[in-house]
């Protein structure tokens, strides 16, 4: 159980302890207790700002098959928190009036279906024309949430897949110094160091439709204070005009359903994942604004993603990541 409450000392980030457990050997208490439940309490009055890291993603959608848009549906995985920190519903002149979400099935513990509906254009309820560029976006309480699938609803009940592309941080680590004799049988007495072997970005296509990546770039936006509504074409154009965008020529790369690609800033990637070395170690440790343009037979998508953004303030019990003195200290992932 993860909670937040005032603790006695402002120098304490969190404290934890077992709530219940079983003796490993009832006849020999020196062998200790196997904990079955515990509580971690984060200090809501810590002297060091704490918070959790989030992932912002905004998408520009345009239909190229001549079909108007009546709704947008995105299934995400990574958190079961039904309340996104932010959802973007479009501009004041062209937006969806209704946003809802719901769990996806009883066993999809971390999956949510996000639905935008009731479109409005210039103050009038109306589907968006095929030539309209439509904007929807999400900010959720974990740094590694992904899109499973995305569908656009058309008047009359038909639908088409939207080629959204996931952009997440990539971190390859390796534990060294582990006692091989006890590694599998006794984790309590196993000690080792975790070394970072590779860092970069992980691009993953949804499971819904193949997509072609035709443009890709990254901008360092430390201290810009960008929020979800800022992740759009005009902001990207401004960053390019100011010379802050670094474009990477990845060619016209086709992603099959669920296919992933690692773009390495530094180090090496896992042998089982296709990768491209960008030789960009200077991008490590910064807040990054990433743009990827993808398309399929019926639509074009501008994927605008903001990475490595700490949100200051102790969160409600959920996914938690302590951020302090420039390092990420501890992370938990929300589970039911």
pTM attached to this predicted model: 0.77
Residue of higher predicted confidence among 336 and 313: 313
pLDDT at 319: 39
pLDDT at 330: 33
Q: State the average pLDDT over residues 223-234.
A: 93
3-state secondary structure the chain: CEEEECCCCCCCCEEEEEEEEEECCCCCHHHCEEEEEEEEEEECCCCCCCEEEEEEEEEEEEECCCCCECEEEEEEECCCCCCCCEEECECCCEEEEEEEEEECCCCCCCEEEEEEEEEEECCEECCECCCCCEEEEEEECCCCCEEEEEEEECCCCCEEECCCEEEEEEEEEEEECCCCCCCCCCHHHCCCEEEEEEEEEEEEECCCCCEEEEEEEEEECCCCCCCHHHCCHHHHHHHHHCCCEEECCCCCEEECCCCEEEEEEEECCCCCCCEEECCCHHHCCCCEEEEEEEECCCEEEEEEEEEEEEEECCCCCCCEEEEECCEEEEEECCCC
> pLDDT tens digits, residue range 30-53?
999 998 888 888 888 888 767 678
Residue of higher predicted confidence among 156 and 321: 156
């Amino acid at each position: 159980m993860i909670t937040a409450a005032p603790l006695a000392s402002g120098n304490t980030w969190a404290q934890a302890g077992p709530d219940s457990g079983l003796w490993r050997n009832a006849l020999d208490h020196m062998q200790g207790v196997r904990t079955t439940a515990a509580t971690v309490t984060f200090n809501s009055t810590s002297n060091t700002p704490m918070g959790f890291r989030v992932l912002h993603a905004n998408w520009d959608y345009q239909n190229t098959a001549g079909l108007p848009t009546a709704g947008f549906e995105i299934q995400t995985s990574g958190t079961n928190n039904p309340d996104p920190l932010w959802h973007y519903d479009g501009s004041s002149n062209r937006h969806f009036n209704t946003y809802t979400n719901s769990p996806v099935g009883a066993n999809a513990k971390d999956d949510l279906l996000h639905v935008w509906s009731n479109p409005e254009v210039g103050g009038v309820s109306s589907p968006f024309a095929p030539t309209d560029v439509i904007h929807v976006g999400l900010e959720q309480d974990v740094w590694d949430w992904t899109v499973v699938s995305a569908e656009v609803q058309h008047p009359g009940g038909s639908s088409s897949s939207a080629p959204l592309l996931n952009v997440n941080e990539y971190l390859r680590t390796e534990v060294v110094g582990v006692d091989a004799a006890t590694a599998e049988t006794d984790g309590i007495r196993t000690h080792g160091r975790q070394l970072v072997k590779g860092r970069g970005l992980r691009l993953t296509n949804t499971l819904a439709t193949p997509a072609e990546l035709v443009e890709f770039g990254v901008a360092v936006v430390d201290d810009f204070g960008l929020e979800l509504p800022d992740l759009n074409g005009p902001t990207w154009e401004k960053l390019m005009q100011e010379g802050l965008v670094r474009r990477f020529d990845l060619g016209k790369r086709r992603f099959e359903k669920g296919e992933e690609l690692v773009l390495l800033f530094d180090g090496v990637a896992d042998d089982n994942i296709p990768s491209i070395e960008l030789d960009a170690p200077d991008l490590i440790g910064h807040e990054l604004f990433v743009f990827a343009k993808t398309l399929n037979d019926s639509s074009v998508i501008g994927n605008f993603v903001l990475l490595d953004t700490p949100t200051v303030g102790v969160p409600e019990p959920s996914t938690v990541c302590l951020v302090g003195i420039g390092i990420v200290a501890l992370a938990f992932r929300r589970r039911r």
